Chains A and B, each alone.
Chain A
């Protein structure tokens, strides 16, 4: 039951930053077609930082907990730093080693976030 530590279950049952941002947030969607996990992310970028971030969607404990922990981590961060976050960092957040078969669950939110951040960086240039 290593994968299902208390913190992970807590973030799954009570995800942080869950919901939608009604103002002029940017929004992107991502999914893992094979398992049906899907995540939507709303972000307000301001002065090179993530001012506000929320996510919504449906997925397994790993996907939802990773999304919840990730949004907590990046809220307020500089966009350039966010672009450096990788799978290793997600494993660190979750506090467990994620097996190959669950990697896609763990990085779903990160993939959505990266897509948005890279787009934002491109637009700034």
Chain B
């Protein structure tokens, strides 16, 4: 386990909620921010604020440097070849949409196949439904088996239909399943497909190496990894990005403009129209520094130990059913979705909130997955580097009280 002193880095963790110390277990929705990141944001506005790429004055250069430095850090963080492969968006959702609206609109045509999976977040379902409408493509979903893993045999069968794109969630935000990204990618490439990975729940929690996985695109969000809201990342292989048309048009993404037509800027700027979210990007650079200082492997180990501890205890709560893998801690992310036999997820979340414990109830933007397993909603506790076993104990005690209240 990580040193609990880490908690002192996060000012919000000393809050009291409903007269109780905050226990923040909603990290899959968004994470809390360390002081270093908050300070960086303030420092940027106090000492560096200017628009980038368009000025030759001192501040503009300083802001540009901070923005580009941030991309270099992110490139190193996921082992991309260069910052040219790092595009900033608003969030993982926009990153996925960027691929849909560029590659999807320009390279897919009627009858082409896109393979996705049954465990996707809505953000990796809806964009493809939109492209399906525009381009009359087919979208197929790799089934989730009863053990909450992907049915790789079915996937291989689908690959025989020569898909143009395979897109999948690396770590499920509900089941905790971590999919074998490298193997899925290898098989997809063999079948001649591009590969887009939704890394929203994996990049914050484990060491990701895009060269090793060999995916063509990877989407993730700063706000789920201790960084500010408003910054998302799309990693793309340079040679593929070079070939794609731009996403949005406007300032900064162009090279030469006439009234009739224009040429595009170099990577990665070709994909970033208009003034970007400079301040948050700079603070995101500081976020990467922070995570690297602690170490992604240690964060992963910490969460694995915590989730295994939580699973053991949760299984003993009367009438509690886990939605997701409960025995494969070795390939599992740090979150647990669950239902209680006697209480509705909404009531569970509300009663835990009264004890200062933040969990989420709902379908977690994975409604089709819930419906497949005949669940309307679930509660979800999701952990991060600053959570402790003592906090898990508090949640277990609170759950026991919920059971008592509803069962008696």
A3 within 8 Å of B (CB atoms)? yes
Q: When the two chains form their complex, are residues A36 and B363 in contact, meaning their CB atoms are under 8 A apart?
A: yes
What A residues does B345 contact at CB under 8 A? Answer: 35, 60
> B312 at interface (Cβ–Cβ under 8 A)?
no
| Cβ–Cβ contact A1 & B354, under 8 A | yes
Residue in chain B with minimal CB distance to A64: B344
Q: Any chain A CB within 8 A of the CB of B45?
A: no
A102–B354 CA distance with the chains assembled, in angstroms: 14
Q: Tell me if B322 is interfacial: C-beta within 8 Å of chain A.
A: no
How far, in angstroms, from A38 to B351 measured CA to CA in the complex?
A: 21
A13 and B406 within 8 A (CB) = yes
> A30-48 vs B: 1/0 string, CB under 8 Å?
0000111110000000000
| Interface pair A9/B405, CB less than 8 Å apart | yes
Interfacial chain B residues near A37, Cβ < 8 Å: 346, 376
A21 lies within 8 A of chain B by Cβ: no
Residues 3 to 33 of chain A near chain B (Cβ within 8 Å)? 3-4, 9, 12-13
Cross-chain contact B347 with A61 (CB below 8 angstroms) = yes
A62-106 interface mask toward B, CB cutoff 8 Å, 1 = contact, 0 = none? 100000000000000000000000000000000000000010010
Q: Which residues in window 344-361 of B have CB below 8 A to A? A: 344-347, 350-351, 354, 361
Interface size class of B (residues with CB under 8 A): 10 to 19
| Cβ-defined partner of B406 (8 Å) among A9, A34, A38 | A9
Chain B residues closer than 8 Å to A34, beta-carbon distance: 362-363
B356, chain A: closest CB distance, angstroms: 14
Residues of B within 8 A of A9 (CB): 405-406
Residues of B within 8 A of A35 (CB): 345-346, 361-362, 376-377
Contact of B347 among A4, A36, A58 (CB under 8 A): A4
Contacts of B130 in A (CB 8 A): none
CA distance A106 to B354 in the complex (A): 19
- B341 CB to closest chain A CB (Å) equals 13
Q: How far, in angstroms, from A1 to B351 measured CA to CA in the complex?
A: 7
Which residues of A lie under 8 Å from residue B405 when comparing CB positions? 1, 4, 9
State in angstroms the CA–CA spacing of A47 and B274 once bound together.
66
Residue of B344, B370, B405 most packed against chain A (CB within 10 A): B344
A62 to B362 CA separation, bound complex (whole angstroms): 15
Interface centre among A4, A36, A38 (most CB of B within 10 A): A36
Chain A residues whose CB sits within 8 angstroms of the CB of B362 once the complex forms: 34-36
Q: Does B396 contact A (CB under 8 A)?
A: no
Q: Do residues A60 and B346 form an inter-chain contact, with CB atoms below 8 A?
A: yes
Residues of A within 8 A of B346 (CB): 35, 37, 60-62, 102, 105
Residues 307-332 of B contacting A (Cβ, < 8 Å): none
Give CA–CA (A7, B207) in the complex, Å. 51
A88 to chain B, nearest CB (A): 21
List residues of chain A with CB within 8 A of the CB of B344.
59-61
Could you tell me if A36 and B354 are in contact, using CB atoms closer than 8 angstroms?
A: no
Q: Tell me if B343 is interfacial: C-beta within 8 Å of chain A.
A: yes
A102 neighbours in B (Cβ, 8 Å): 346, 350
Residues of A within 8 A of B351 (CB): 1, 4
Chain B residues near A13 (CB-CB < 8 A)? 406
Instruction: Map CB proximity to A onto B162-200 as digits: 1 under 8 Å, 0 otherwise.
Output: 000000000000000000000000000000000000000
Roughly how many angstroms separate A37 CA and B376 CA in the complex, as a whole number? Answer: 8
A61 to B402, CA, bound (A): 12
A38 nearest CB across to chain B (Å):
8
Q: Which of B347, B362, B370, B376 has the most CB of A within 10 A?
A: B347
Knowing A34-B362, A35-B361, the reply to whether A58 touches B376 (Cβ < 8 A) is yes
Once the chains are docked, how many angstroms separate the CA of A60 from the CA of B347?
6
- Report Cα–Cα, A62/B377, bound state, in Å: 16
Task: List chain B residues, Cβ under 8 A from A4.
Answer: 347, 351, 405
Inter-chain CA distance A12–B343, complex, in Å, is: 10
When the two chains form their complex, are residues A36 and B377 in contact, meaning their CB atoms are under 8 A apart?
yes
CB distance from B314 to the nearest CB of A (A): 20
Residues of A near B354 (CB, < 8 A) are 1
In the complex, what distance in Å separates the CA atom of A96 from the CA atom of B22? 25
**Closest residue of chain B to A101, judged by CB?**
B350
* Contact sample, A vs B, 14 pairs, CB 8 Å cutoff: A1-B351, A1-B354, A9-B405, A34-B363, A35-B345, A35-B376, A36-B363, A36-B376, A36-B377, A60-B345, A61-B343, A61-B344, A61-B406, A62-B347
A35-B346, A60-B347, A61-B406 known, 10 other contacts, Cβ within 8 Å: A1-B351, A1-B354, A12-B406, A34-B362, A35-B345, A37-B376, A38-B376, A59-B344, A61-B343, A102-B350
Q: Which 6 A-B pairs have the closest CB atoms?
A: A36-B376, A60-B344, A60-B346, A36-B377, A61-B347, A60-B347
